[in-house]
Structure 1
Amino acid sequence: MELRLHLVHFGVFLVYVCGLCYDVKPPKGSEYESAFWAMGGRFKYLTFIDALLQCGFFGLCVLNDIVGSDTAILSQQSVLQKLRDWLFTSLVFPMGVFVSFIFWVLYAVDRELIFPASLDKWFPSWLNHIMHTLPAVGAFLELYMVCHNYQKGWNLYVPIIVAYFLYLSWICFIAYAANFWVYPVFEVLDFTGRTLFLAALLLPNLIIVFMGQKLHDNVWGIGTEQTQRKGKME
């Protein structure tokens, strides 16, 4: 189990590195060139920001596998393990699942709102799956294979709420300063529609955080002895 877990961590990390290093760029003179390189570059896309987060997290997992710890006993946990657990439970799982869920739901409704068909000419499908499918797959694999320490109460929800409003402020600033919306779906909505849509997106994030904790408890148990939890990890 331990070797398999280490291989999963390293494999997912390596796939993310390959995806992030791939030199994707729209053809010169295309309708996407100016928007792609406009304010913020790739850092204006939640998909890219999430891929950086996921890559950094699985890189941290690899480092923790080598020099850190993997114990349910808080007093014996390394700083790396505590950081791994905090990142996964508060940001990595909810953001990864959210990105995959929202993308593929909008894609199924009308792909032109989120990923126009014309992108297929220069954005390969394998890279699309790294950016939009792997986040959820990797998050669920991690939840199933590793026992994590969850924050208590609202402390668990604060990081994703802060991250949500920071990104919301970022894309609204881009719309104001550069006069374009990062995602085509906002172009077809009026002010009221955008406001309601953006506000409504916070709820799935909170639900995913809650769901992640419940799924984790179902897999690893609630109120079990620390030795039992440690035994399951091994």
Structure 2
Amino acid sequence: MAKPQMNTDGHRYGGVENFRSALIVAVLFASIALAQAQTFYTNNFQKAEIGKVPEDLMVLDGQFTVQEEEGNKFLELPGSPTDTYTVMFGPVTNANVAVSARIFSTSKGRRMPAFGVALCGVGGYKLQISAAKKAVELFKGEQVMQTMEYTWKSGEWSSLHLAAVQTRDGVKVEGKVSQGGAEPIHLSFEDTALLTPGKASISGTPFAGTTIRFDDLAVVAAGKD
């Protein structure tokens, strides 16, 4: 049987090393549990049934269905009729939360789509790519709070991230948009009051008459200032 190792003072330290190893493992598991606790909702549609809508999504309007291309599944909105269509998901909340999604569409001639992600239900905060305007817009309800010039690329996935974080003076709303290897676009504004709690959502307006695809939906906690 192997003898326990000794330190320079002649004392055993095998027990200490075992304790340290156990502590490290415990911290790792705690970190994983904390990360999981901070994720309220995710959906990459890989387990979803093609032609259907997952039961945990609330379709407000539009003929959304899960479709697949080259082994990747996504939620698809048809290219017609032309209107704004919305799907809600995740917990009901109004602050310290963020929503993200990847969205894909194509242009047709000079016609281009509009699409985005939102928080706090209908009439809440919304981050939208308005391709025809060559702009990214940050809304509170129907009011544009901030806009930045943005050239959207047809036929590439866009990543959108929107967060609402409670501060001492109200809520800080931050949006981020990126596509391919381009530098992300950042927008933000300060709201003076909390909105009515609501679910996160995705939305699309197929102005181009082409489909709009949504993937990798997520709702996570956003830290307080």
Same fold (TM over 0.5): no
Which has the larger strand fraction? Answer: 2
- TM-score, normalised with respect to structure 1: 0.23
Which has the larger helix fraction? Answer: 1
Q: Highest CA radius of gyration, 1 or 2? A: 2
- TM-score, normalised with respect to structure 2: 0.23
